[in-house]
Amino acid sequence: MAAALIDLVLRELFEFGAMQTDPNLANYRYDRKTGRIVLLDFGAVQPIAPDLAADFRALARVALEGGADATRDAMLRIGYFGPTTAPHHQTLIQSMFEAAMVPLRQDGPFDFGSSDLLQRLRDVGLAIGNDRELAHVPPAPKLFVHRKIGGMYLMAAKLRARVALRPMVEGYCSKDIAPC
């Protein structure tokens, strides 16, 4: 189930050009007859511009392979921080991203149910949010996508899912653009 939900997010981002951005479990149903996910509540649907999808595809590539400079450049394009964001804040935000990408870099399934990753990300996120010197806020369209991705992490943890994310993401990175 979690793999199907994550795949739906990837399809929304990279194929559909629109994303239902409210990851509340009540917004989904599972059709046992067809094995398909049914989306409910389209009030939170946001358009995904082709350039935004391209930026997230580039970010997914660096998420899979790493590399500090490439990661920083992709995060800057997405807007997770701006060119005037203090270097120590950029480093903090980038370290949070690197931690969040551990599940993508595994060859096998990531065990969301037994990992403390969400708690660690929450703690770093709270520290970033409470830092009054950091005034940068990413653009709204990117925050909506980020909210959905974060919601999928939470949902996978609630479902105690084990999902091999790398092959899923690689499949979408290679579409329309050179392979990851």
Nearby residues of 108 by Cβ (< 8 Å), 6 or more positions away:
164
- Please provide the average confidence, as pLDDT, over all residues in the chain: 87
Written as six digits, the tokens of 160 are 């105690």
Cα separation of 15 and 17, whole Å?
A: 6
pLDDT digits (tens, 9 = 90+) for 122-132: 888 887 777 77
Is it the case that residue 177 has pLDDT exceeding 50?
A: no
Q: What is the pLDDT of residue 148?
A: 92
Encoded tokens for 104: 């993508």
Angle at 13 between CA 178 and CA 33, to 5 degrees: 115
For the cut 80, the answer to whether the pLDDT of residue 136 exceeds it is no
Residue bearing tokens 């939470």: 154
Helical H segments across the chain, by residue range: 2-11, 50-65, 68-78, 87-100, 102-105, 117-130, 140-158, 165-173
Q: Which is nearest to 55 in space by CA: 150, 152, 138, 168? A: 138
20: three-class secondary structure by DSSP: strand
- Give the pLDDT confidence score for residue 52 in this predicted structure: 93
The pTM assigned to this predicted structure is 0.86
**Does 21 score more than 50 pLDDT?**
yes
Confidence band, pLDDT 50/70/90 cuts, at residue 167: very high
Tens-digit pLDDT profile for residues 79-117? 998 888 888 888 888 988 888 888 999 989 999 999 998
Inform me whether the pLDDT recorded for 145 exceeds 80.
yes
